[in-house]
Structure 1
């Protein structure tokens, strides 16, 4: 009885009654209604948790259907390069047709390269002085100070420490003993300049080092039109490419429809998994021999025993559940309804109107509970030869409003199977939310199970208070009995002493 406690009690006055043990046995009987209520509450929590699992499966299926609701999901355009050594495709865009590309110059960064330095990177330079590093913006130049204790490593650290300002980074190749100063950006706007008024830089890195360098833009043509760019990563007619070397290459496009097959397969997979899960939940009967355990019962069991017991106790908590059965029924109905409302079909007699026409069939074995199976050869043939009809079979829209039962039925028949099933699942998810809410499994919200748990909590608190009162009355009675026995014992001892005297 959490949160409710009784007064401190003193027992054992007579030495003849084990009051605590007697009261406990009496209270075990009194607690039966509370234990029954708590078991019902636990069953409701388990049921809510299992509903959440079913809800998750529905969301997964709806996500799969969403991948089939839009025409652009059915095919992808893959751009290719005729010469990847010259031009490499990074990512495809819209169908670009064919673009002929000729690269006459690659973009590069500004770069100053020193003469060979005959010192180790950690060896002291033993000179004093300074030089200035400048990038594209002269106003952001930085002076590098050299002392006798400076080393090649410390000079690099100073240059790179200011690179965010100057836009110039330094690297030192230990093998060749050469310093590289490079602009962070590429293109004609990039620049590296070393101002060496006192000859400090020349003293360290060589007097013949060229101290100024400018970058170059990429130069290329697309279908005869000349273009320049500051980077070798460019977008050509919606396709992101990398310019690799001078030369010629063409960008073509290949339409890939395998995505449609994969998405249909995924839909069938998710649908079958949901059917299995819902069917198993609604047909697994309750194991009446197992009920949720009380706290006292758990104290006498190991963790593994508790886990096994509770697995059996929660079995069948969704047996014959009307919400799950209704969900399966509405989805099967949506899949078995032919597509209507097609205007100007290529061939009215052969227009695709059922999933079975593209190789998606309901399994004949009744034990499979209406699961689907795919004739892959038939599906691929439909994709390759009747692609537009397959798209329409899944993506067709409807302008019919859902304002009357007749219009709702008409609208459903006019919707492609993806939109149709998507709307069906969304409607069932709304029912799930009304049943279980959207918070934690213990949330006392306005859902059906939330209200039920709220009622259980109120009744549980009332019963706990009553049990405290009952327990207090028992202790009061037994305390009075113990005092009476103590008094009788005292009187008996006195009489015995008198008679003995």
Structure 2
């Protein structure tokens, strides 16, 4: 925001010596003349400041409208938000989450085998140099060439194996305390394998030094095996399975019930979050629309600020800024469209208003703030979920024409319209390079007028100084003539 300053038109740095002939305080006189002449410039600066305050407040409101639309209302347009499920189980056997397609109820899960990775543990390694053959040795690991350099130690072997992990799926670790090499696949199931073999006698020597059979090793992982609701012998390469819309992670052997139910807390919290965000913005808009305007308090100029305490400046500016959006037409339109979207009944839905599920408006003086009857809303989510879904999401069309909308799509459209209206009036962002909004154009016009006024005042100041210079010239000439006359008259008298 640009400061409002007085006499910023004066670009002259000349040292003036006024009043030598006339005895007048020229600088003081010109300064007072310019203070009077610059009043319109100060008024332009105040107009600009007020517009910028208004623009800032509108953009701040727009940011909240965007947040409400994208973080809350968008999710409430989706039926999946209201179909959230929760699953209870014996977590020592399985943990589970449910997709929106899971049907509420109890399911039996019996796990007889967990999926495991392929593993192999060597015998104790005693050799310090693993490849003591005097040559580089090539082994084959899962159809990949594994090169063990001459004189390689155990750490060199680990590096060689782990460098191939992206291609073989096999990782290696070494426990120096146990003196053993551990091989492990990074996936589970029967498709996971460790096939390590030697190509010649030197390779067999290396395998022997690693505590492995000279004939090589062949290890395979195992599948998970489980029964689900009477379907037996189901196998999976991993312990993460999806059955009947339930995402299950198998954790142990045994039998457990998977109880699927509506996740009332999650759905309730989504609605509560929306109501809180809606109340924040509706309260803010109502406050700005009804805020008192103090017409006697105008934005301060720099000269005025210099004569005031910081605390007084803050209080003054608060009053000067107050009411910048009072009764604003754009904001009023947005305010009433938002209230209408949440208060209207949804066509085609029995008891199709938010009040039917425990969301009501407060007293008239609260400006449209919403309140939640938690017991009533939770009961509706639990026992009449379709009513909740329809109130928020139902859209009825005839061909391509929308006949009626649920609260969420109706409010989403109202927010979109409001965001566009504010963008047209105040611009989209304070950081945008070019602002072609209504207020932006007003500020731009004032900037041009300020520039013109500064040029005019600069010329006017120079004009005043020129006039006083001319006056000094005339006064000097008159003083000279007066002195000459006085000299002549004095000479005649003698």
TM-score (norm 1): 0.78
Give me the whole-angstrom Cα distance separating, in 2, the residues matched to 1:21 and 1:295: 20
Aligned to 2:41: 34
Q: 1:190 aligns with which of 179, 188, 193?
A: 193
Residue aligned with 1:287, SS? coil
Alpha-carbon displacement from aligned partner over 1:382-431 (angstroms, at most 9, x marks no partner): 3444332333233332336999xxxx9xx4xx433333333333333333
Aligned to 1:348: none
Give the conservation status (yes or no) of the 8 Å contact 2:360–2:371. yes
Residue aligned with 1:89, SS? strand
Where does 1:30-429 land on structure 2 (aligned, <5 Å)? 30-63=37-70, 64-81=72-89, 83-89=90-96, 92=99, 94-95=101-102, 101-117=109-125, 130-132=136-138, 134-136=140-142, 138=143, 140-147=144-151, 151-187=153-189, 188-195=191-198, 197-198=201-202, 201=206, 204-206=209-211, 211-223=216-228, 224=231, 226-249=233-256, 251-298=258-305, 306-342=313-349, 351-364=350-363, 366-399=364-397, 411=403, 414-429=404-419
Give me the whole-angstrom Cα distance separating, in 2, the residues matched to 1:488 and 1:439: 65
Give me the whole-angstrom Cα distance separating, in 1, the residues matched to 2:69 and 2:467: 64
Deviation at 1:218, TM superposition (A): 0.7
Alpha-carbon displacement from aligned partner over 1:214-236 (angstroms, at most 9, x marks no partner): 22241425553645443333333
Change (3 A) 1:21 1:168: farther
Residue aligned with 2:201, SS? coil
Deviation at 1:36, TM superposition (A): 0.7
Deviation at 1:464, TM superposition (A): 1.8
Give the conservation status (yes or no) of the 8 Å contact 1:110–1:182. yes
Q: 1:432 aligns with which of 401, 409, 422?
A: 422
Change (3 A) 1:20 1:161: farther
Which runs of 5 or more structure 1 residues have no equivalent in the other structure?
343-350
Deviation at 1:489, TM superposition (A): 7.5
Alpha-carbon displacement from aligned partner over 1:113-159 (angstroms, at most 9, x marks no partner): 2223458xxx88895555445432x2x32212143xx6544443444
Give me the whole-angstrom Cα distance separating, in 1, the residues matched to 2:300 and 2:271: 45
Give the conservation status (yes or no) of the 8 Å contact 1:114–1:209. no
Residue aligned with 2:178, SS? coil
Give me the whole-angstrom Cα distance separating, in 1, the residues matched to 2:315 and 2:183: 70
Aligned to 1:347: none
Alpha-carbon displacement from aligned partner over 1:282-338 (angstroms, at most 9, x marks no partner): 222123343223244445667666545433321111122233333333344444444
Residue aligned with 2:61, SS? helix
Worse overlay, 13-22 or 193-202: 13-22
Q: Tell me if 1:448 matches 2:438.
A: yes
Worse overlay, 427-436 or 302-311: 302-311
Give me the whole-angstrom Cα distance separating, in 1, the residues matched to 2:170 and 2:465: 88
Deviation at 1:19, TM superposition (A): 5.2
Give me the whole-angstrom Cα distance separating, in 2, the residues matched to 1:91 and 1:206: 47
Residue aligned with 1:193, SS? strand
Change (3 A) 1:175 1:311: farther
Deviation at 1:55, TM superposition (A): 2.2
Residue aligned with 2:76, SS? coil
Give the conservation status (yes or no) of the 8 Å contact 2:293–2:322. yes
Give the conservation status (yes or no) of the 8 Å contact 2:124–2:178. yes
Give me the whole-angstrom Cα distance separating, in 1, the residues matched to 2:281 and 2:184: 59
Give me the whole-angstrom Cα distance separating, in 2, the residues matched to 1:372 and 1:135: 66
Give me the whole-angstrom Cα distance separating, in 1, the residues matched to 2:232 and 2:375: 46
TM-score (norm 2): 0.79
Residue aligned with 2:443, SS? helix
Which runs of 5 or more structure 2 residues have no equivalent in the other structure?
none
Give me the whole-angstrom Cα distance separating, in 2, the residues matched to 1:252 and 1:463: 77
Deviation at 1:37, TM superposition (A): 0.5
Tell me the C-alpha RMSD between the 2 structures: 4.0
Change (3 A) 1:402 1:289: farther
Residue aligned with 1:399, SS? strand
